[in-house]
Amino acid sequence: MRLSAYFLPLLRENPTEAQIVSHRLMLRAGMVRQSSAGIYSWLPLGFRVLQKVEQIVREEQDAAGALEVLMPTIQPAELWRESGRYEDYGKEMLRITDRHEREMLYGPTNEELITDIFRGAVKSYRDLPRNLYHIQWKFRDEVRPRFGVMRGREFLMKDAYSFDLDAKGAKHSYNKMFVAYLRTFARMGLKAIPMRADTGPIGGDLSHEFIILAETGESAVFCDKAWLQTDVLGTDVDFNGDLEPFFKKWTSLYAATEEMHDPKACPVPEDQLVSARGIEVGHIFNFGTKYSKPMKAVVSGPDGAEIAVEMGSYGIGVSRLVGAIIEACHDDAGIVWPESVAPFKVGLINLRAGDEKCRTAADDFYKKLNAAGVEVLYDDRDESPGVKFSAMDLIGLPYQVVIGPRGLDKGVVEFKSRRDGKREEMSPEAALNRLST
């Protein structure tokens, strides 16, 4: 992509409304624009990141055997009356009346809808287990939206729902998602710690929140100091095998959210306990028959008797993750994207747009990168070098290739790694080689 033809409205100064670093950087880097409180438009650069995050989530859900569907954002109120949550949810639910005076709502989550779909289609234990997920916009009318996309009212969420015949199967489904989540966040370069969590209004008895430690986090969390030195799972897993060892391993070290943390009962000695702030990026629940019973999601068992299915739900805040990644990956100059979610892999800077030799060399390098399938943002604008350097640092692409008259005379380009700031001179071929691998 040529920057001269791109839509990248950068801000030189910090907008006053943005108080935390990810919000500031997302606005300054031209990733999002606020539409109203807690509601954002995603501009090209931000949207690319959102889609990369979404794709990683999708791949890991698929790998764990979950099946993607797409449910609507608007749901009928009746379903929520069946589960009893229509009244419970209160003002956080955006309620809508259509032209026929029918009560509708903008979905804050989808347990009711998925249960309705499931009960209409599955009648036999033979069709279990199943896990259905979708990645869809949700709306929760938060009292106080804040922190940019980290606590918006409208947000993109992956929510998966598992259906099993019995508690043992349900635990296996839970473990699958548990492991898939470890892999998902690890792929994004994040250390997300699974913590025992309160089930809240979703219900149930088994629940983990996946928390990224960050000073700006909204939740108070407690964990064993050893977690700080522990790497998260990144290896391949057989999802059909026994996952309980993985679950045990990644829950053996103490980690709990504030609601679940009891200082008196805590097994970790005080000097070994970390008290920190965290960002919740995922939350998994096993809630048994909380919805299947009132909504009559039942199957015939082997003996012909009706059995209410055991359910779980599994959420990842996809749009929140974009902010969370920036909270975890930035420096004074701007964002430092992990390669897996970077909007482009490399920023190509032509230092002298007006110089024939530079332009030819840069155009040529750009063509070769494209041919090699390397995602590149090419700054071909006629701007001063300082402007280009700072813009490229701000948007945080993992690598920069600088082509200027000084290097060209020696037949080299400059290759810079954003993360450590190291710059090396090398031939264009060598730089191309580095980037295509």
Partner RNA sequence: CGGGGCGUAGCUCAGCCUGGUAGAGUGCCUGCUUUGGGAGCAGGAUGCCGGAGGUUCGAAUCCUCUCGCCCCGACCA
Hey, how many other C-beta atoms are within 10 angstroms of the C-beta on 275?
Answer: 12
Based on the shown chain and the rule CB under 7 A, indicate whether residue 315 belongs to the binding site for RNA: yes
Least Å from the CB of residue 293 to RNA: 21
Query: Token pair for residue 420?
Result: 């450590």
Distance CA 412, CA 429 (A): 9
Question: What secondary structure does DSSP assign to 303-325, as a single string?
Answer: TS-EEEPEEEEEEEEHHHHHHHH
Which part of the chain contacts RNA (CB under 7 A), choosing from 81-89, 225-233, 313-321, 362-370?
313-321
Q: Which of 102, 357, 367, 406 binds RNA (CB under 7 A)?
A: 406
Q: Which of 386, 420, 422, 437 binds RNA (CB under 7 A)?
A: 386
**How far separated are the first and last CA of the chain, in Å rounded?**
20
H/E stretch holding 287: strand 273-288
Q: Which of 22, 24, 38, 309 binds RNA (CB under 7 A)?
A: 38
Identify which of residues 299 and 413 has a Cβ nearer to RNA in the complex.
413
Q: Is the peptide bond before 72 cis (omega within 30 degrees of 0)?
A: no
Q: b/e for 99-113, b at 16 or more Cβ within 10 A?
A: eeeeebbbbbbbbbb
Distance CA 131, CA 73 (A): 20
Q: Contact, 29 vs 396, CB < 8 A?
A: yes
Least Å from the CB of residue 331 to RNA: 11
Q: Is the dihedral of CA 230, 235, 240, 245 positive or negative?
A: negative
Q: Which of 229, 235, 240, 384 binds RNA (CB under 7 A)?
A: 384
Beta strands in 111-153 (DSSP E): 130-139
Based on the shown chain and the rule CB under 7 A, indicate whether residue 407 belongs to the binding site for RNA: yes
DSSP label at residue 258: G
Identify which of residues 307 and 324 has a Cβ nearer to RNA in the complex.
324
Identify which of residues 25 and 79 has a Cβ nearer to RNA in the complex.
25
Identify which of residues 292 and 400 has a Cβ nearer to RNA in the complex.
400
Least Å from the CB of residue 123 to RNA: 31
Based on the shown chain and the rule CB under 7 A, indicate whether residue 422 belongs to the binding site for RNA: no
Based on the shown chain and the rule CB under 7 A, indicate whether residue 332 belongs to the binding site for RNA: no
Q: Which of 238, 354, 356, 422 binds RNA (CB under 7 A)?
A: 354
Q: Which residues contact 131 (CB under 8 A, 6 or more apart)?
A: 64, 65, 66, 67, 160, 161, 162, 163, 173, 176, 177
Based on the shown chain and the rule CB under 7 A, indicate whether residue 142 belongs to the binding site for RNA: yes
**From residue 152 to residue 181, what is the string marking binding to RNA with x (rule CB under 7 A)?**
xx-x-x------------------------
Based on the shown chain and the rule CB under 7 A, indicate whether residue 394 belongs to the binding site for RNA: yes
Least Å from the CB of residue 385 to RNA: 3
Residues numbered 181 to 200 that lie near RNA (CB under 7 A) are 200
- 381: buried, middle or exposed (CB in 10 Å: 19+, 13-18, 0-12)? middle
Q: Which of 9, 241, 238, 35 is nearest to 149 (CA)?
A: 35
Q: How many residues sit in the footprint of RNA (CB under 7 A)?
A: 66
Identify which of residues 37 and 226 has a Cβ nearer to RNA in the complex.
37
Continuous H helices in 93-191: 111-121, 167-187
Based on the shown chain and the rule CB under 7 A, indicate whether residue 396 belongs to the binding site for RNA: no
Based on the shown chain and the rule CB under 7 A, indicate whether residue 282 belongs to the binding site for RNA: yes
Based on the shown chain and the rule CB under 7 A, indicate whether residue 390 belongs to the binding site for RNA: yes
Q: Contact, 149 vs 320, CB < 8 A?
A: yes
Q: What is the CA radius of gyration of the chain?
A: 24
Based on the shown chain and the rule CB under 7 A, indicate whether residue 219 belongs to the binding site for RNA: yes
Identify which of residues 309 and 394 has a Cβ nearer to RNA in the complex.
394
Q: Which of 408, 431, 432, 435 binds RNA (CB under 7 A)?
A: 408
| Amino acid identity for residue 277 in this structure | R
Q: Which of 221, 223, 328, 391 binds RNA (CB under 7 A)?
A: 391
Which part of the chain contacts RNA (CB under 7 A), choosing from 52-60, 79-87, 115-123, 397-405?
397-405
Contact residues for RNA (CB under 7 A)? 10-17, 19, 34, 36-38, 140, 142-147, 150-153, 155, 157, 200-202, 209, 218-219, 280-283, 315-317, 319-320, 333, 351-352, 354, 382, 384-387, 389-394, 402-408, 414, 416, 423
